[in-house]
Amino acid sequence: MYLNALYGNFSFCHNKPDCKKSINQKEKYMPLSKTYLKDLVYQVNGAAIEVHKCIGPGLLESVYHNCLVKELSIRGFNFQSELCIPINYKGLEVEANLRCDLMVENALVVELKSVESIKPIFEAQMLTYMKLLELPMGLMINFNVTNIYKEGQKTYVNELYRYLED
């Protein structure tokens, strides 16, 4: 599967001062497979575990975000932080000021939390971001836990995932 359907819709974020990032127009096509995405999730989880191991639970989401950005950079990942997500309503671009915490390798939506528990609205938000970005997989990481691997991470897939090769 190739991610080429959405890239024309991201131009409206480029010149807005309150919108830090948007899709890089040069990186239009990326072959994806289920194996690639599973490995990517594993690697991003590893980076999150390293952050959690170093600073522990109980801090603000923004602290974990900043640390994970540094860790992903150290590990050589291509990612975008605070990515603007466009809304295309009946062919019209609607400014909604939606932001995805991270998009890693133009393939994985990553949402970060530092909360007591993951609420259904957080899951709905993740699935909506995946739909709007036309990406098949997302990863939610909650840093306010004792063990990220056991209780602080969850992977989400949508209907696009089934069309990927193994």
The answer as to whether 126 is a domain residue is yes
Q: Identify which of 38, 1, 7 has the alpha carbon closest to the alpha carbon of residue 23.
A: 7
**Contact (Cβ atoms closer than 8 angstroms) between residue 82 and residue 111:** no
- 19 within domain boundaries: no
Residue 70 lies in a domain: yes
pLDDT of residue 13 exceeding 60, the answer is no
> Whole-model pTM?
0.82
Query: pLDDT tens-digit profile of 78-127?
Result: 999 999 998 999 999 998 999 999 999 999 999 999 999 999 999 999 99
Residue 132 lies in domain: 40-163
Instruction: Provide the CATH number for the domain around residue 70.
Output: 3.40.1350
Q: How far is CA 108 from the centre of its chain?
A: 5
Q: What is the tally of structural domains in the chain?
A: 1
Q: Does 35 map to a domain?
A: no
In a domain, 13, yes or no: no
